[in-house]
Every structure is written in structure tokens, then in C-alpha cells.
């Protein structure tokens, strides 16, 4: 009981929130870099999942890395954290679902999460994504320290008062 | 007929009696004449009366006599006597009033008249207040208010006076009255003359005094006129220097001085004002020099005091202010004190025809200077007021500027307040927004990402088309599964699997060559280029829901061969026909 309370307090601690936020943000920024630079390869990866119609593959390959970059930056800075965390969570949930489906279908492809040349998709990949999803939930629901937006508006309201 | 002897004797006796009578008359007349001559030569009334008594007593052989000259109004008079004892004289002096009342005013026995009159005669008559032994009384009015009364005793012979004697006595009395009257008149005339002389002297004095008074009056009128003129001249002037100049001009003009200088030292504003008139070497005065000379002047004043609005003349100004310093020989100098901080000196040179100023002229100079000081004080007050006014105007201007600034500032403050409230609202909104998830934010992120992606893709060398190339490329002709199978079995065609290697390895058609588009340039010469005969067609298959690999590879092959065909329906149609697949 006591351990659970301590754990809960730790889980919702703002500094933990900050740590997870920066970690997730950095992760997404890092993940977006290669994909942005090589959209053709990422399009191949998406196509290999065989879940999108052929006409939507290129558009998705172009836009998705930029979404990752923008929300990663927002998370690191702590601006529009709620929306960014929600988007991160949503994307991770989508990725987990896609991986699950692909694993069930038995399509032998690489993950393509960071670069196009990776180990083949496996259950570990799904577990990793689910862990990240849990982190995103923490960031969404718990307050985190050093949010640029919150800090800025808080100090402005102090000035106003 | 001859006269008889007796008749002759009688005639002789008569003649001798007549002769005697005539001699007596001649003697009396001679006496009268002598008496008249003697009395007229005497001046004092007492002497006259004394001479009269002696004459009468001598002529008639009378033992004693008494004479009074009495003022009938004041009942006072002179007494002279012969042959009386001193006690009798004292009694007479004591009884003078009674005697006068009894014999002169009472009308006893007859009223007083201008003719000499014998009052009583004979031994039996009542002497009254007079001493006993008085045999004869004579009285006569001399002039108005004065009467003479003479009393005589008995004759040595004891005989009474005869008619001739009485007549002579009356004549003598008359002579006495005349002499006294003359004497009194003379005296009156002398008194009048003396009085006249005195009055004349008084008149002379009065005239002289009147002349002096007139002179004084003229001088005072001149002084007042000068004071009035200086007041009239100074009153319209308000500037200190101009005032001092006008004052000096008036002073020089009034006293006819050849040169003059007026120095004013204002210790409050530390300024010196100096004006001068007349021909002499002019010099500039500094404040220190002016203060030194004023101090020297102060030490040379008799009072050595500096009361406000006072003028102090300097003793021996020539010694105090040498000609070398002032520029001319100073005859008169006065120090004037308007107040503690405003001191001045007025110095005048030689005046026309006079060595220096008289007391009255000094007073006039004092008056003029006092007047001038009043105007200097006013001028200073005016200057102070002017300065205050200027200050006030400047402050007013500043105040107006301040008000303008304040109004502007208020306007700015209002704007800032407005901005603040807007900012406050905005911040409030932002704080609220930051705390919750909004679909707008999500949309915004997506939109931003899309725009950035499209822009970046457009400018990047690794950019890809938004839609797959297959959509825009020309349609590659296809063959159905049966025809394809026949062509393959006859060796008329080669089968190419366009999918990636992983998918190929998972499942593919028998005898198919795996030639993915990504590795086309490497694999084509190795796997297809060498074995493909010129009459053989290339049948390409392999597409997924997400990608048309067959079309991509067919397009590449079309650049090298003409006979390229896609298998319609792909692997699904193949499998639907029950044809075998590997593995």
C-alpha cells in the first residue's frame, strides 16, 4: 500500500514528467530526421506494411515525419504539451496497432521506425512501442516541470497582478 | 486959586500912596515876570512847585507853605513844602487822598476850574486834613485830570494879604499852573515821542522780520518746488540706472554744481551702478572698489549709523575722496542708505560762486536724496516684482508643459491600461488553453506539418511525388492468366516478379525472376539481360494493396524491350485458376 503510494507520487511527479517529456520529444525528433531526408525510403517502408492504398503512401511518407518533428519539438519546449502528448500517444497507439496487425499477418518486413535498414519487426518492437505509449500517457495526464508555455504565462500573470 | 498946603500935602500923600501902590504893583509885576521866567526854565514839576513856594513865601513873607500836584483820577500826586515839620509832611503824604477828595473833588467850597481860586483865608478858617496853621488855600486845574493845590501859613507880619497881594498870588498860581501845564504837556509829548520812536523801531524790526520770513518762504517755496520737480521727474522712471541719472541731473541743476557722481551699490544682487555728469575723467567701478569707498564714507560720517532711508553727510569730503580717485574735487558728499543691502553715495563738485553748500541747501540735498531713495526703493521693489513675475510666467509655462505632458501621459496610460487588459485576457485565455487538449491545436500541428512537409519536399533533392508515378504513366498492356501460362509453357515469355525480395521469398510463381525496382539496375544484367531472347516477351507481376511494383518495373523494362506485359489479376488470378505457386 505504502509502496504503491510512493510509486504513484513518483509517477505523477513533475520532474518525472519533464524527463519523460524530453525523452519522448527527443525520440520523435530523432525518428523524424532520417525519414524527412529520405522520404522515398520511408514510402517503401509504409508500402511494405500493405495497409494504406497505393495513392496515399507518398503523402503519408511526406507528412508523418514532419508531424513527428513538430510534436517532438513541442514536447521538448513544453508548448501545447497537451496536444503534443495526445498526438504522440495517438501515433504510438496507431503504430502499435499496425505492428500487431502486421505481426499477425506475418509479413516479413523491417520496422522502419528510425531508418529503413533495421531488424525485422517483432514482438519486442510492439512492447517497446507500448512502453512509449505509457510514457505518453504519463506526460498527457501528469503535470511536468519547466514548460515554456506554462512558465511564460505564469510569469506574465504574475506581472499583471 | 492957589492950592492950599494941606491940599498939596494931601495931594502929595495921595501921590506918594499912589507911588507906593505903583511901586508895589511894579514889584509884583516884576516878581510875576521873574517867576514866570524862572518857572518856564524848570523841567521837573517838583522843582517848579518848590520855586513857586519860595517865590510866594518870599514875596509875601509867609512862614510856611505846601504845594500839591494831584492826579484827580488816580488820586496820586507830588508834594513839596517849606517850613513844615517832617511829621506834618508825613501826615500830608498819608492824607493825600483825603486832601484831594476834600478840596479838589468834593466841590468844597467851590468846584475845580481852570481859573486860580482862593479857597479859604484867615486865621479862623477850618484847616481840614491839612496841617494846622494853614491860613490860605489856593487851587487850580492844570490840565485835564491834574490839579494844583497850594496851602500857606501866616505872614511874619501877622497881617492878612491885601487884595493886590491876593491878586498877585492868584497870578502867581496861574503862572505855576501854566508852567506845570506846559511841563505836563512837554512830558506827554516826550512820552508820545518816545513811544513813537519805540513803535517805529518795532516797525523796523517787524519789517526786517517780514523780509526774512518772505526770504525764508521764497527759499522754502524753491525747495518745495525742487522737491516737487524731482518727484515729477523721477516718478515715471522705473529703471534704477535711469533713476540715478535723473536724480543726479536734478541735484546738479539745483545746486549749480560743475561735476557730480552718484554711486549705487546693491550688495544683494552684487551690482554697482554709477552715473556722472560734468567734465572729468570717468572710471569704471567694481563692487569691491565701490564697497571700499562707501565704507570710507561711512567712517567719515558724524553719526556712523546706517539707518534705512537715511542720508548722512560726510565731513571733509575732499580729504575722504581725493580728486585722483573720484576725478574731481568733491565739495559736498552724502552717503545714503536705502536699506541694509542698498547703499549709495552722491558727491558734488564746486558749486557756482560758493565754497560749499549752506545748512539749508544741505537740508534740501537731504530732502532730494530722501526723495530719490524712495524712488530707488520703489524701483527695486518694481524690479523684484518684475523678476517674480518673470519667474511666475516661467513656472506657469513649465506648469502648462507639465499639464500637457500629464495629459499625454494619461492618454498613454489609458492606452497601456487597454493593452494590459487585452494582454490579461489573452494570457488568461492562453493559460486556460495550455491546460487542456484542443482539437484546434491538433489541427494546427497537422496543418503546420503538412505545409512544412510540402515546402521541404519541393525544395529537397530527395523529394518524391505526392502521388505514385504509376498514376501518371502510360498503361502497360496486360495478358490474362491463361495466355500467360500458355506463353510461359511455350517458352515465349520470361516471368518477372517485381516485388521486394522478402515478399518474393514468402510466395512467388514458379520460374519467376525476382527483379525489384530498387535493385533493377544491378539485377537486370545479371538475371535477365543475358538469358532473354529477342523474341521472348517479359511478363511482369507483383503488386500489393499499397504498391504497384509490377508497373514500376514494367516502365523500367520498357526502356530496354518492347514486348512487356502485365499479368492481369496478378497472383490472385493465378491462384484462382488453381495454378501452382512456390514455395
Per DSSP, what are the bridge partners of residue B77? B70
Distance (Å, rounded) from C-alpha B392 to C-alpha B463? Answer: 80
Q: Tell me if A58 and B468 make a contact (CB, 8 A cut-off).
A: yes
> How close is the nearest chain B Cα to the Cα of A15, in Å?
17
Q: Tell me if A54 and B468 make a contact (CB, 8 A cut-off).
A: yes
Going by pLDDT thresholds of 50, 70 and 90, the confidence category of residue B262 is very high
Going by pLDDT thresholds of 50, 70 and 90, the confidence category of residue A3 is confident
pLDDT in the model for residue B346: 92
pLDDT in the model for residue A160: 53
Average pLDDT along chain A: 85
My answer on whether omega of the bond before B446 falls inside 30° of 0, hence cis, is no
Distance (Å, rounded) from C-alpha A34 to C-alpha B139? Answer: 187
The number of C-beta contacts closer than 8 angstroms across A and B is 127
pLDDT at B244 over 80: yes
Q: Tell me if B441 and A80 make a contact (CB, 8 A cut-off).
A: yes
Q: Are strands B342-348 and B260-266 parallel, antiparallel or unpaired?
A: antiparallel
pLDDT in the model for residue B107: 56
pLDDT at A157 over 70: no
Going by pLDDT thresholds of 50, 70 and 90, the confidence category of residue B359 is confident
Q: Is the ipTM of this complex over 0.90?
A: no
**Average pLDDT, stretch B314-336?**
87
**Average pLDDT, stretch A151-160?**
55
Q: Which residues of A touch B446 (CB under 8 A)?
A: 63, 67
Give the orientation angle of helix B439-459 with respect to helix A57-77, to 10 degrees.
120
Q: Between the CA atoms of B538, B544, B547 and B553, what dihedral angle is there, to the nearest 10 degrees?
A: -10
pLDDT in the model for residue A36: 93
Residue entry with cell 575722496? B321
Distance (Å, rounded) from C-alpha B153 to C-alpha B151? Answer: 7
Going by pLDDT thresholds of 50, 70 and 90, the confidence category of residue A155 is low
> How close is the nearest chain B Cα to the Cα of A5, in Å?
25
pLDDT in the model for residue A152: 56
The answer to whether the Cα torsion of B382, B387, B388, B392 is positive or negative is positive
Q: Tell me if A55 and B431 make a contact (CB, 8 A cut-off).
A: no
pLDDT at B134 over 90: no
pLDDT in the model for residue B518: 83
Interface test with B, best of A40, A47, A159 (most B CBs within 10 A): A47
**Predicted confidence (pLDDT) per residue in B283-298, tens digit:** 888 888 888 988 999 9
Interface test with A, best of B449, B459, B503, B553 (most A CBs within 10 A): B449
Q: H helices within B256-286, ranges in order? A: none
Q: Tell me if A153 and B464 make a contact (CB, 8 A cut-off).
A: no
**Average pLDDT, stretch B304-318?**
88
pLDDT in the model for residue B403: 96
pLDDT in the model for residue B176: 87
Average pLDDT along chain B: 86
Q: Tell me if B518 and A48 make a contact (CB, 8 A cut-off).
A: no
Going by pLDDT thresholds of 50, 70 and 90, the confidence category of residue A63 is very high
Contact status of B463 with chain A (Cβ, < 8 Å) = yes
Contact status of B456 with chain A (Cβ, < 8 Å) = yes
Residue B304: CA atoms inside 13 Å, Cβ hemisphere, count? 3
pLDDT in the model for residue A29: 95
Interface test with B, best of A80, A107, A139, A147 (most B CBs within 10 A): A80
Q: Tell me if A147 and B437 make a contact (CB, 8 A cut-off).
A: no
> How close is the nearest chain A Cα to the Cα of B270, in Å?
57
pLDDT in the model for residue B125: 54
pLDDT in the model for residue A151: 59
Q: Which residues of A touch B424 (CB under 8 A)?
A: 160
The answer to whether the Cα torsion of B164, B169, B174, B175 is positive or negative is positive
pLDDT in the model for residue A88: 93
Contact status of B572 with chain A (Cβ, < 8 Å) = no
pLDDT in the model for residue B123: 54
Q: Tell me if A149 and B434 make a contact (CB, 8 A cut-off).
A: yes
Q: Tell me if A70 and B467 make a contact (CB, 8 A cut-off).
A: no
**Predicted confidence (pLDDT) per residue in B172-224, tens digit:** 888 888 888 888 888 889 999 999 999 999 999 999 999 999 998 998 898 88
Percent of chain A with pLDDT over 70: 88
Q: Tell me if A70 and B445 make a contact (CB, 8 A cut-off).
A: yes
Nearest neighbour of A70 by CB, restricted to B423, B431, B449: B449
**Predicted confidence (pLDDT) per residue in B142-164, tens digit:** 888 888 888 888 888 888 888 88
Q: Tell me if A51 and B545 make a contact (CB, 8 A cut-off).
A: yes
**Predicted confidence (pLDDT) per residue in B211-238, tens digit:** 999 998 998 898 888 889 888 888 888 8
Task: Note if the pTM is more than 0.95.
Answer: no
Q: Between the CA atoms of B136, B141, B142 and B147, what dihedral angle is there, to the nearest 10 degrees?
A: 70
My answer on whether omega of the bond before B583 falls inside 30° of 0, hence cis, is yes
Sheet holding B76-82, edge to edge: B76-82, B65-71, B146-152, B136-143, B117-121
> How close is the nearest chain A Cα to the Cα of B506, in Å?
8
**Predicted confidence (pLDDT) per residue in A31-57, tens digit:** 999 999 999 889 988 988 889 998 999
Going by pLDDT thresholds of 50, 70 and 90, the confidence category of residue A111 is confident
- Partner A, chain B 490-509, Cβ-Cβ below 8 Å: 500, 502-503, 505-506
Among B72-81, B276-285, B402-411, B568-577, the least confident range: B276-285
Distance (Å, rounded) from C-alpha A64 to C-alpha B211? Answer: 137
Distance (Å, rounded) from C-alpha B571 to C-alpha B580? Answer: 10
pLDDT in the model for residue A65: 95
Going by pLDDT thresholds of 50, 70 and 90, the confidence category of residue A5 is confident
All residues at 6 or more sequence positions from B375 whose CB lies less than 8 Å from its CB, including other chains: B234, B235, B237, B243, B247
Q: Tell me if A156 and B427 make a contact (CB, 8 A cut-off).
A: yes
pLDDT in the model for residue B193: 94
Distance (Å, rounded) from C-alpha B214 to C-alpha B577? Answer: 171
Q: Tell me if B546 and A37 make a contact (CB, 8 A cut-off).
A: no
pLDDT at B465 over 60: yes
Q: Which of the pair, B412 or A121, is modelled with greater confidence? A: B412
**Average pLDDT, stretch B292-309?**
88
**Average pLDDT, stretch B125-152?**
80
What chain B residue is nearest to A79 in terms of C-alpha separation?
B434
**Predicted confidence (pLDDT) per residue in B484-498, tens digit:** 889 988 988 999 999
Going by pLDDT thresholds of 50, 70 and 90, the confidence category of residue A66 is very high
- Per DSSP, the three-state class of A11 is helix
pLDDT in the model for residue A1: 62
Distance (Å, rounded) from C-alpha B500 to C-alpha B498? Answer: 7
**Predicted confidence (pLDDT) per residue in B74-120, tens digit:** 888 888 988 888 888 888 888 888 888 888 776 555 667 777 777 76
**Predicted confidence (pLDDT) per residue in B8-55, tens digit:** 888 888 888 888 888 888 888 888 898 888 888 888 888 888 888 888
pLDDT in the model for residue B111: 67
CA proximity to B547, closest of B463, B465, B471, B458: B471
Report the range out of B83-92, B445-454, B496-505, B518-527 with the highest average pLDDT.
B445-454
> How close is the nearest chain B Cα to the Cα of A22, in Å?
18
pLDDT at B519 over 90: no
Q: Which residues of B touch A60 (CB under 8 A)?
A: none
pLDDT in the model for residue B474: 78
pLDDT in the model for residue A154: 57
Going by pLDDT thresholds of 50, 70 and 90, the confidence category of residue A118 is low
All residues at 6 or more sequence positions from B161 whose CB lies less than 8 Å from its CB, including other chains: B60, B121, B136, B155, B169
Distance (Å, rounded) from C-alpha B572 to C-alpha B577? Answer: 9
Contact status of B419 with chain A (Cβ, < 8 Å) = no
Distance (Å, rounded) from C-alpha B313 to C-alpha A67? Answer: 109
Amino acid at each position: 500500500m505504502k509502496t504503491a503510494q510512493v510509486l504513484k507520487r513518483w509517477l505523477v511527479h513533475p520532474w518525472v514528467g519533464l524527463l519523460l517529456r524530453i525523452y519522448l520529444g527527443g525520440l520523435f525528433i530523432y525518428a523524424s530526421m532520417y525519414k524527412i531526408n529520405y522520404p522515398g525510403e520511408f514510402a517503401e517502408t509504409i508500402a511494405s506494411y500493405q495497409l494504406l492504398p497505393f495513392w496515399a503512401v507518398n503523402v503519408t511518407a511526406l507528412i508523418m515525419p514532419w508531424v513527428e518533428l513538430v510534436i517532438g519539438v513541442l514536447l521538448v519546449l513544453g508548448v501545447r504539451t497537451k496536444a503534443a502528448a495526445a498526438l504522440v500517444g495517438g501515433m504510438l497507439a496507431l503504430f502499435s496497432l499496425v505492428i500487431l496487425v502486421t505481426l499477425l499477418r506475418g509479413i516479413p518486413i523491417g520496422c522502419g521506425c528510425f531508418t529503413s535498414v533495421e531488424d525485422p519487426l517483432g514482438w519486442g518492437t510492439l512492447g517497446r512501442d507500448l512502453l512509449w505509449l505509457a510514457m505518453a500517457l504519463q506526460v498527457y495526464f501528469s503535470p511536468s516541470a519547466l514548460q515554456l508555455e506554462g512558465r511564460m504565462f505564469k510569469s506574465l500573470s504574475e506581472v499583471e497582478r | 486959586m492957589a492950592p492950599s498946603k494941606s491940599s498939596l500935602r494931601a495931594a502929595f500923600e495921595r501921590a506918594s500912596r499912589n507911588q507906593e501902590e505903583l511901586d508895589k504893583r511894579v514889584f509884583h509885576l516884576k516878581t510875576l515876570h521873574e517867576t514866570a521866567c524862572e518857572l518856564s526854565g524848570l523841567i521837573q514839576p517838583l522843582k517848579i512847585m518848590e520855586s513857586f513856594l519860595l517865590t510866594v513865601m518870599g514875596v509875601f513873607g509867609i512862614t510856611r507853605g505846601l504845594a500839591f500836584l494831584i492826579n484827580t483820577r488816580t488820586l496820586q500826586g507830588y508834594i513839596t513844602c517849606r517850613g513844615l515839620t517832617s511829621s506834618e509832611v508825613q501826615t500830608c503824604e498819608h492824607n493825600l487822598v483825603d486832601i484831594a477828595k476834600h478840596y479838589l473833588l468834593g466841590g468844597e467850597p467851590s468846584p475845580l476850574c481852570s481859573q486860580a481860586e482862593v479857597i479859604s483865608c484867615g486865621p479862623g478858617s477850618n484847616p481840614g486834613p491839612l496841617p494846622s496853621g494853614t491860613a490860605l488855600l489856593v487851587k487850580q486845574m492844570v490840565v485835564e485830570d491834574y490839579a494844583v493845590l497850594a496851602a500857606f501859613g501866616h505872614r511874619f507880619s501877622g497881617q492878612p494879604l491885601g487884595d493886590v497881594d491876593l491878586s498877585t498870588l492868584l497870578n502867581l498860581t496861574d503862572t505855576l499852573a501854566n508852567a506845570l501845564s506846559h511841563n505836563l504837556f512837554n512830558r506827554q509829548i516826550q512820552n508820545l515821542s518816545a513811544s513813537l520812536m519805540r513803535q517805529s523801531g518795532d516797525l523796523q524790526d517787524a519789517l526786517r522780520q517780514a523780509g526774512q520770513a518772505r526770504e525764508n518762504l521764497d527759499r522754502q517755496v524753491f525747495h518745495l518746488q525742487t522737491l516737487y520737480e524731482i518727484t515729477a521727474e523721477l516718478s515715471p522712471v522705473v529703471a534704477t540706472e535711469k533713476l540715478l541719472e535723473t536724480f543726479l541731473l536734478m541735484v546738479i541743476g539745483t545746486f549749480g554744481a560743475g561735476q557730480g557722481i552718484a554711486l549705487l551699490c546693491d550688495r544683494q544682487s552684487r551690482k554697482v551702478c554709477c552715473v556722472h555728469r560734468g567734465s572729468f575723467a570717468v572710471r569704471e567701478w567694481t563692487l569691491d572698489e565701490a564697497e571700499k569707498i562707501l565704507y570710507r564714507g561711512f567712517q567719515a560720517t558724524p553719526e556712523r549709523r546706517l539707518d534705512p532711508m537715511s542720508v548722512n553727510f560726510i565731513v571733509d569730503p575732499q580729504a575722504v575722496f581725493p580728486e585722483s580717485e573720484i576725478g574731481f574735487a568733491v565739495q559736498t558728499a552724502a552717503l545714503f542708505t536705502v536699506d541694509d543691502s542698498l547703499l549709495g553715495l552722491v558727491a558734488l563738485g564746486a558749486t557756482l560762486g560758493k565754497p560749499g553748500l549752506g545748512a539749508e541747501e544741505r537740508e534740501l540735498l537731504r530732502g532730494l536724496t530722501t526723495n530719490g531713495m524712495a524712488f530707488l526703493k520703489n524701483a527695486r521693489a518694481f524690479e523684484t516684482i518684475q523678476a517674480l513675475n518673470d519667474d511666475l510666467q516661467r513656472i506657469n509655462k513649465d506648469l502648462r508643459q507639465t499639464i500637457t505632458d500629464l495629459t499625454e501621459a494619461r492618454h498613454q496610460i489609458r492606452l497601456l491600461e487597454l493593452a494590459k487588459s487585452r494582454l490579461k485576457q489573452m494570457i488568461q485565455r492562453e493559460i486556460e488553453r495550455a491546460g487542456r487538449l484542443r482539437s484546434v491545436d491538433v489541427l494546427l500541428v497537422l496543418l503546420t506539418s503538412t505545409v512544412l512537409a510540402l515546402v521541404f519536399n519541393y525544395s529537397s533533392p530527395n523529394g518524391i511525388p505526392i502521388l505514385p508515378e504509376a498514376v501518371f504513366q502510360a498503361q502497360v498492356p496486360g495478358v490474362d492468366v491463361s495466355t500467360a501460362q500458355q506463353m510461359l509453357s511455350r517458352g515465349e515469355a520470361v516471368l518477372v516478379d517485381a516485388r521486394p525480395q522478402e515478399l518474393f521469398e514468402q510466395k512467388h510463381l514458379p520460374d519467376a525472376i525476382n527483379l525489384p525496382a530498387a535493385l533493377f539496375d544491378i539485377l537486370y544484367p545479371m538475371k535477365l539481360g543475358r538469358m532473354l531472347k529477342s523474341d521472348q516477351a517479359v511478363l511482369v507481376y507483383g503488386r500489393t494493396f499499397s504498391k504497384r511494383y509490377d508497373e514500376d518495373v514494367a516502365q523500367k523494362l520498357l526502356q530496354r524491350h518492347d514486348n512487356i506485359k502485365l499479368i492481369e489479376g496478378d497472383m490472385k488470378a493465378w491462384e484462382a485458376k488453381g495454378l501452382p505457386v512456390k514455395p
